[in-house]
A and B are shown apart, each in its own frame.
Chain A
């Protein structure tokens, strides 16, 4: 009797397995992602951003979030949920940003954060896309008469604590046998306010943040950027938790889509016209042919929506760091590789 029951149970389990796995076996390409399922169920993307820094992410006078990182949050939500407004922004400080991502409080971290070895390995995070290339830049008062970073020997620099900036200065001091003193602040606003008051001789951060800081100084024109950067090239970009490849892949290809929009020359004005295009690459990209969206776990219109609602990477840059955004930071390294910059991507085949 007992044996019969066990046998029956085994049969049932086998049958159940057959039913469930058999059903999905036909659509092997369908993506499985815990994070994407959770976002769809919630109907909202939770995006970890900076607490407030012009250029990357800040709230304007109406309380609307603006910035390059915000454009990326909007693009990801647009691709997955069909609307760029279905995003909840969580301002994260430099201290807690990775913890809140690891603990699952946010779905993705797009917060002017540098892609590093330790963050990829020890912290267990994936680094899908670099949306801003920069280097650690110094900004000093013109009246100081300093032209190069090496001349800063003996100077005191205000900066944000809990970042790679401190380590870079320590390394630079050691390799050049000079002494640049540091003063560490918890918030970037406090740091550049102290620099503005004259407590420090200068302020340092990545190039984008320094440009942002300069725009908030009492007399922006009194401040100059030193030409050299230290600590090498800083690739800033998005972070996701490891173990959800499909989600990481989507975040990565949303970035490439914004580059591709620029490469294909699509803008909000010519978008409908482009839909009539005979060019197969354009047709595949806009979802008129092929199954690119499905392969990523979203619908095929995803890239079309990004082009319509957010625009290209170049548009987003211009509206935030460029002249339209009021920071006037030349695009430099962030140009497409075809224009002498570093922004590049795999081919869309």
Chain B
């Protein structure tokens, strides 16, 4: 009975705030609605993955921004996982120097604010690079300057569509071929022969390479990786890597040492003990806390607004909010999109967790 009363009270409070908000909004001449998404914009988005022109709709701007957010999140999740795994294993190394380098890294990164780190990468590291006319030339025709990294890009020929799709399919087939059994033994490492095949098919679709070079104010040609993306990527992945490293260490230590001793006594080499006995068992412990680190990365991508990376928060809580004066709607959109992305990521990780979980009877 008491619980029902509490629930009723909560509903009443929510209803009160809702009606107050509605009254305030109508007083400010702003009805609630998402119709503005179909209207045309009048601003540019400096960095995007898909084509964008001034005059496209707000809905398209939303898509461009979602892709920007997903790009930096995905890049950071991959980098944070690899770096975290490496540092976590280093933390348990028998070598004093390796162990303490890992410890120092973790303590330094975990105990400074993430926003400060992102701005550090942007202002203190990337903004000290030389201007476009004094670009640093790296091997492979890569140019590095304050405007970012410039990589050579592939120019497609007229058969590229089909060939590149084929190369992608070959790549995707590798894990399947890996498991094919031939006379009782899986093909495993032999399936990596498909990699050069994929590369050859890809190369057949390339017309020529486009090399970056100075042209007017800027470098033209090639692919530009803007420093805003690099700074945000570094800031997000290094910060998360420190936490993931500690999760990895804890997970490895949670595997009973009898397991390791038993494996060694069977004559397995130490590296195989780690990869075949310890890590698979540690993985089960790692996944739930690592999932929450992934979700943190996605949410923290909104810090990109501080370094001019045009992700969802910057464009929608900045430009769009100002130009349409629809504060409530843009915030609702932002929350809905982040909620959707994070719930999907969480569902995916839960599915994986379920798959690797120990089956007990």
Q: Give me the interface of A with B, judged by CB distance under 8 Å.
A: 94-95, 98-99, 102-103, 118, 121-124, 144, 154-156, 158, 161-163, 166-167, 169-171, 173-174, 181-186, 190-191, 193-194, 197-199, 201
Contacts and interface: CB of A to CB of B under 8 A. Distances in A.
A169 B28 contact: no
B322 interface: yes
B217 A162 contact: no
B146 A184 contact: no
B186 interface: no
Contact of B127 (A102, A144, A171, A199): A199
Contact of B216 (A124, A154, A190): A154
A199 B306 contact: no
A169 to B, nearest CB: 7
B261 interface: no
A197 B146 contact: yes
B322 A162 contact: yes
Nearest to A118: B325
Nearest to A161: B318
Q: Which residue among A95, A98, A158, A166 has the maximum number of chain B CB atoms within 10 Å of its CB? A: A166
B303 to A, nearest CB: 11
A123 B317 contact: no
B308 interface: yes
Given A155-B217, A171-B42, A199-B146, A95 B306 contact: no
Contact of B147 (A185, A186, A199): A199
A116 to B, nearest CB: 11
14 contacts: A95-B317, A123-B28, A156-B218, A161-B314, A161-B318, A166-B44, A170-B42, A181-B44, A184-B46, A184-B319, A190-B306, A197-B123, A197-B128, A199-B147
Interface string B184-220: 0000000000000000000000000000000011100
A184 B308 contact: yes
B268 interface: no
B54 A170 contact: yes
B323 interface: yes
B321 interface: yes
A186 B146 CA distance: 20
Given A99-B327, A182-B44, A199-B127, A122 B30 contact: yes
Contact of A201 (B46, B217, B325): B217
B319 A161 contact: yes
Given A184-B314, A184-B318, A122 B323 contact: no
Nearest to B227: A199
Contacts of A95: 317-318, 321-322
B147 A98 contact: no
Contacts of A124: 28-29
Contacts of B131: 198
B305 interface: yes
A98 B314 contact: no
Given A98-B325, A99-B327, A186-B306, 14 more contacts: A95-B317, A122-B30, A124-B28, A154-B218, A161-B314, A161-B319, A162-B322, A170-B43, A173-B44, A184-B319, A185-B308, A186-B314, A198-B146, A199-B146
A156 B147 contact: yes
B306 A123 contact: no
Contacts of B227: 199
A289 to B, nearest CB: 42
Given A98-B325, A118-B325, A186 B217 contact: no
B33 to A, nearest CB: 13
For the complex of A and B, list the 6 residue pairs with the smallest distance between their C-beta atoms, beginning with the closest: A197-B127, A162-B322, A161-B318, A162-B318, A166-B43, A170-B54
Interface in B105-139: 123, 127-128, 131
Binding site of A, secondary structure by majority: helix, strand, loop or mixed? mixed
Interface string B306-341: 101010001101110111010100000000000000
Contacts of A185: 308
Nearest to B24: A103
B312 to A, nearest CB: 13
Contacts of B216: 154
Nearest to A96: B327
Nearest to B228: A183
A81 B308 CA distance: 43
A190 B43 CA distance: 20
Contacts of A184: 46, 308, 310, 314-315, 318-319
B150 to A, nearest CB: 14
Contacts of B28: 102, 123-124
Nearest to A159: B308
A183 B46 contact: yes
A72 B131 CA distance: 42
A194 B308 CA distance: 10
Contact of B322 (A163, A190, A191): A163
Given A161-B314, A171-B42, A198-B131, A183 B308 contact: yes
A95 B321 CA distance: 8
Q: Which residue among A161, A173, A186 has the maximum number of chain B CB atoms within 10 Å of its CB? A: A161
Interface string B40-67: 0011101000000011000000000000
Contacts of A181: 44, 46
Q: Which residue among B24, B227, B308, B317 has the maximum number of chain A CB atoms within 10 Å of its CB? A: B308
Contacts of A198: 127, 131, 146
A171 B40 CA distance: 13
A173 B42 CA distance: 11
A144 to B, nearest CB: 7
A200 to B, nearest CB: 9
A183 B216 CA distance: 18
Contact of B54 (A102, A174, A191): A174
Given A94-B322, A123-B28, A123-B325, A156 B217 contact: yes
A186 B318 contact: yes
A173 B53 CA distance: 11
A122 B322 contact: no
Contact of B29 (A122, A169, A183): A122
Contacts of A166: 42-44, 319
A252 B318 CA distance: 30
A155 B46 CA distance: 12
B187 to A, nearest CB: 50
Q: Which residue among A155, A184, A186 has the maximum number of chain B CB atoms within 10 Å of its CB? A: A184
B173 to A, nearest CB: 41
Nearest to A119: B325
